[in-house]
């Protein structure tokens, strides 16, 4: 009977541990690589929410710099993400899972939103279910790279 204390067995334990460690380092967010010279937008600032009868209005300040602190030149638009947490649900409000894209706003063609003095105003008219409505905003550039995701804002709809 072989014992685990032999040199050959220790070698295979070490190799197995190394394989597991390398596999764990490979886990994480998978996204296409972003070129060094790309100006990827910072997150929007001052994301605010206002609830009105049947409408939720979001406002935010446009980012002026990219993630590296350079002047932002090619900001193209915004993606509005939303999730509804139903009453009695164990789903957490600030968890990143469960959001879906509900609007894409093109800065050059403000059809479904308004631009007022560096602020963006967008309204969600699809407010029918009871629960907590949670929103985040993602700016994107002309090359299709998403910028930093904003913090979240939420409101309870009875």
| Strand duo 119-124 + 131-141: pairing | unpaired
Per-residue pLDDT reduced to its tens digit, 104-113: 999 988 888 9
This prediction's pTM: 0.76
Q: What are the chain's domains?
A: 45-157 (2.60.40.10)
DSSP labels, 35-49: -TT--PBPPPEEEEE
Per-residue pLDDT reduced to its tens digit, 34-92: 666 677 999 999 999 999 888 999 999 999 999 889 998 889 999 999 999 988 888 88
Q: Comparing C-alpha atoms, which of 70, 106, 71, 99 is closest to residue 83?
A: 99
In sequence order, the 6+-apart residues with CB closer than 8 A to the CB of 32 are none
């Amino acid at each position: 009977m072989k014992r685990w204390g032999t040199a050959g067995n220790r070698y295979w334990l070490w190799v197995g541990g190394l394989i597991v460690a390398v596999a764990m380092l490979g886990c994480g967010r998978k996204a296409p690589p972003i070129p060094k010279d790309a100006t990827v937008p910072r997150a929007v600032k001052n994301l605010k929410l206002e609830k009105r009868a049947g409408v939720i209005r979001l406002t935010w300040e446009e980012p002026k710099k990219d993630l590296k602190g350079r002047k932002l030149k090619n900001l193209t638009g915004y993606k509005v993400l939303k999730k509804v947490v139903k009453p009695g649900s164990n789903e957490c409000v600030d968890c990143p899972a469960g959001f879906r894209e509900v609007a894409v706003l093109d800065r050059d063609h403000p059809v479904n939103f308004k631009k007022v003095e560096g602020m963006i105003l967008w309204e969600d008219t699809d407010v029918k279910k009871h629960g907590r409505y949670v929103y985040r905003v993602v700016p994107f550039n002309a090359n299709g790279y998403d910028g930093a995701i904003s913090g979240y804002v939420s409101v309870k709809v009875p």
